[in-house]
Every structure is written in C-alpha cells, then in structure tokens.
Chains A and B, each alone.
Chain A
Amino acid sequence: MSLHTLTIAQARDLLKRREISSLELTRAVLDRITALEPAIQAFLTVTAEAALAEARQADAAIAQGRMAPLTGIPIAIKDVICTLGVRTTCGSRILERFVPPYDAFVMQRLKAQQAVMVGKLNMDEFAMGSTTEHSAFQVTRNPWNTACIPGGSSGGSAAAVAAEMCLASLGSDTGGSIRQPASHCGVVGLKPTYGRVSRYGLVAFASSLDQIGPLGKTVADCAEVMQAIAGHDPSDATSAPNAVPDYMAALNRGVQDLRIGIPKSYFESQGLDPQVAAAVRQAITTLERLGATIVDVALPHTDYGVAAYYVIAPCEASSNLARFDGVKYGLRDGGADELLDMYRATRSQGFGPEVQRRILLGTYALSAGYYDAYYRKASQVRTLIMRDFAAAFQKCDLIASPVTPTPATPIGAHADEPLAMYLSDMYTLSANLAGIPGISVPCGFSTDGLPIGLQLQAAHFQEERLLAAAQAFEQATDFHKRKPAL
C-alpha cells in the first residue's frame, strides 16, 4: 500500500493500531514530494528534516498513548501563515528571506496535536490572484492537467492535496482563495465563518475578509482539521467567542431536514460554462434525492459583488501592505540614501505587478475626493449583499451554486487581463463580504477531465450544516475517489 494515498481518517486508524508509524507515513509523503514536485511545483519550502524529527516525536507520543486526532499526520501550510523558524514568503520577493519569530495561532494548534508539517505552499503573491501565476517564484501546475492553473490564491494548497504530497493543507480565503482552487483541483476546501479561526499570524491582505481554512481529500478530513484550528484567540480582536461545535459529530446528520436554496440568477450569468452548470444541477438533484428540500432564493445584489469587492479588498490591501517598507523585515533596496527613496525603491522591487496594481487601486479609491464614491459606496453595497443573504437564510439552510464559472483555465489565459481574472471570483467573493462560511466539494468532471466543484454556503457559524450536507453528497457519489494520473 502506498501510504501517501491515505486519508487522515485511514492514517489515524493505522497509526492508532500501530500498523504504521508516522515516520513511515511522513517518509512516503516526502518521497511523493520528491517524485512529483518537479512537475507540480506546489511547494516553496520543503521541511523534510524537521518533518522527520516531528514524525519521530509523534511516534513517541503515540507509543505513550498520547494521541490527538492529527498526531503524526503530514500536513502542509500556505506560505502566508507564519511558521516559527521556517521562511514565510507570501509568494513575494519582498519577504523572500523572512523567517517569522513566532507561530500563527493555527500553527500553535497543529503543533499542540503533534501534526507533522512537511512544507510551505505556493500562492499568488500576498494571496492576490485566482491562478497562482502571480507567485514571484514559480507557477504551480494543476495535477489533473499540468498545462492548466490550479486556481488560486491557495493553488499550492489545493495542488499538493490533489497530488497527495500531503494528507491535508491549510489555505486562506479572502474572495474564494480556498474554495476556487479546491474546485479546480478536485479536493474539498472549507472557508470558515469570519472570526471562527484566528487570523493571528496570517499575513494580512484584506483584514475584514481574510479567513484561514482547511483543504483535504475528503469532507471528514476537512472537519478534522477544522476542529483543530477553530476557536477563540485573544490575540485576534476579531476572533469569535462562540463555542466550537463538534464538527465530526455533525458529519453524519444527513440532509433530510435541510432546505437548500438555489439562486436562479447564479445559473443565468453569461460566463457560466454549460458543463459546470450541468454538473452543479446534477449535484442539486442528488441532494434532493438524499432528502433535502430545494427552494428558490434571490440574491439580487450579487451582480455588484465583484465591483464592491474590488474596491474594499484593494483599499484594505493598500493599507495593510504599507508595513512592507524595508525597515523592520524583508527586502531593502540598499542604494537609496534618503528614507522616502528607500521606501519607493524597496516596494517597487519587492512587489510584483498584480500587488502593485491593487495597491494603486486601493490608494486611488481612498484618496481625497474619491472616498465617498468608492470605499463608502462599496461598503454600503456590502450591507445590501449581507441583507440578501440574511433574507435568503430565512427561507433556506444552505445555498448551492457553482464555485467557479469554468473549470481550470490554461496557464497564461488571463495574462494582462486583470478584470477577466477578477470576474472569475463572482460566485465566491460575496461570502467573504458577508462573512459567511462556504465549502467546495467535488461534483463532476469536464469532458477534458478537469474537476468541477459544488459550492455550499451557510449562515454565520453554521459550518456543521455545510459539513453534514457535503459529507452526505460525498458518500452518495464517487467523484472524490477519482485521482489524477501522475
């Protein structure tokens, strides 16, 4: 048996019964990385030695009967999450040599369970992008077709799970950056409610939208990782104090009692690929067959979501990224002999074109005379989008829709067309504006063999419903069992 093919649930059973060791499992995963990484390029850093040491410690803990759900499980982390002593680049030249002096909250949680970190994953620079082509270092390939993008910005996180170079990963989602690559790579990706998972140690892109979440081979694996990372953290002032439910217990609740809302307008948009529409409609039929009630809902302001998002997110980014100035960490241009020149030279060298574009957009939108027309207006539209969801969730428990309008596109398809790339986020980014949770679960394949995902969204803090419905769907279908030919 090839150990890298295991799910977390399977690996834990074998570890518990002492049929395998974490060291064997970790070695198998590292071997897989060595074999496939040249073709996939999902990792920016592979922490092989540290992983083997952590695996030995996990085995010692298991031998002493101290085993948490993720003990000894090889996991990889998006390179936007700070890892003590391990380079954290955000896919940017400006942080190419940044070594965090502390662990993000989610890393503290994973370490407390003695999960094994095998490396840090590629991403669009500062999580700005939907293709992972905007990494300053490398272009990650889609394991299902290496001529295609894996999606983004957590493209490395999705590709590594799909190619079985880790058992699960962490990503971050500001406008779809977990759900969209999960959909493109045929894995499960969960964006939690805003505030459910601490952002302490997550390098900020747009603070009112950013959220860390898991990507896994199965819904149950995502639930397991979610259980480990969710919870209140005093170090994040926006962290929610709500008690964390038992996500694993919620998994098998089924969909019999659930009303699933279908926003008709989502299926009428011009850019929606007919194959994606057909797969998602089929998935909705499956959920109905499993006992869910299907109802129509309206989200009338969705059409304005992309416009509102591409004001709010760049505004927040232009403010957040002001900290990268060549003083406290990261790159510095040594040529300038005056402070302002040093800032400009450093930032222009250190940031890639997409990041500079968004900083310029945000700075423009926040500048004197434009604030009301852009930031204030977009924030008002955000209220209307939230009200749409609130009204819809009076009529239904979950909203089902596509994740992305098309399957993964060829590498280079959106080069120099930022707006075209932004429009591909139309189904995902309203969840970030509203702060609600969403999940992508595999629901089909295109005729070219590229994965298609089903998105389910729920009201604030209703992750249990998402997981229960996704699990019911997964159990009733075989899409998650298909593996890319690598």
Chain B
Amino acid sequence: MKISTEELLHVARLARLRIDPQAADKLAGQVATILEYVDTLAQVDTEGVPPTAHAISVTNAFREDRLAGHLPPDQALANAPAREEDFFLVPKVIG
C-alpha cells in the first residue's frame, strides 16, 4: 500500500490531528487509493516545465505603509475560547 498506517499516524501528528487507531487503517486505505490515482501525474513529461503557483500575473501588490483600520481588542478577542486581559489564553506551552 502507498501509505502505511504507521506513516499515516506520523502525518497526523505533523498535521496536529489525533486519529482514532481504529479508524487509522480505513483512512490509510482511502488516502492510499487517492495517492495511487495521483501517481498518474508521473506519466506526464514535465522536463523543463516551470511550476505554477498562481494563475494570474498580479505580483507584489504594494500599498502605502500607513496605519489603516484595525479591530479594537474587545472585538478581536470576542471569539477567543479563553482570554486574560487583552491576551489569548492558552494551556501551558512548555511541559
């Protein structure tokens, strides 16, 4: 198979997802099926073809470096699951 259950669980850790071990096999199978299909790309000769990240030619959209509208702290924090004063509150970062 294109991706093993162990590899899938590793990728899940990278993606900050917790996969139920019981669902991991099925999920790995589904991802593998998609990756096998995606492998048809290998049939295309792309020698010397530049990659495209963006379909139109707008580049470097500069603007004046001026203070513009910004949210007051209470509005910016209104959706926060937890706050303390004007800060987002998170669980401890270093164990």
Contacts and interface: CB of A to CB of B under 8 A. Distances in A.
Given A307-B41, A337-B91, A433 B55 contact: yes
Interface residues of B, number: 52
B52 interface: yes
A67 B84 CA distance: 46
- Counting chain A residues whose Cβ lies within 8 A of the other chain, the interface size class is 35 or more
Given A328-B88, A329-B80, A418-B30, A379 B18 contact: no
Contacts of A357: 27, 30-31
A363 B56 contact: no
A225 interface: no
Interface string A448-486: 000000000000100000000000000000000000000
A28 B36 CA distance: 51
A418 B34 contact: yes
Contacts of A303: 40
Contacts of A99: 78-79
Prevailing SS type, chain A contact patch? helix
A383 B88 contact: no
A382 to B, nearest CB: 4
A435 interface: yes
Given A380-B49, A386-B52, A336 B31 contact: no
A65 interface: no
Interface stretch (A138-146, A168-176, A232-240): A232-240
Interface string B4-38: 00011001111111110000000100110111011
A381 B31 contact: no
Nearest to B12: A360
B46 A194 contact: no
Contacts, number: 176
B69 to A, nearest CB: 9
Interface string A100-119: 01100000000000000000
B13 to A, nearest CB: 8
B16 to A, nearest CB: 4
B16 A360 contact: no
A137 interface: no
A377 B42 contact: yes
Contacts of A326: 81
Interface in A371-390: 373-374, 376-384, 386
A308 interface: yes
A383 B58 contact: no
Contact of A434 (B16, B51, B55, B95): B55
Contacts of B49: 380, 383-384
18 contacts: A194-B55, A238-B54, A311-B41, A327-B81, A327-B90, A328-B79, A328-B80, A329-B81, A338-B95, A339-B90, A348-B19, A356-B27, A357-B31, A364-B7, A373-B42, A380-B51, A384-B44, A419-B37
Given A328-B80, A361-B35, 7 more contacts: A234-B63, A310-B38, A339-B92, A360-B11, A381-B41, A418-B33, A435-B54
Interface of A: 97-99, 101-102, 193-195, 208, 234, 237-241, 301, 303-304, 306-308, 310-311, 318, 322, 325-332, 334, 336-345, 347-348, 351, 356-357, 359-361, 363-364, 367, 373-374, 376-384, 386, 416, 418-419, 422, 433-436, 460
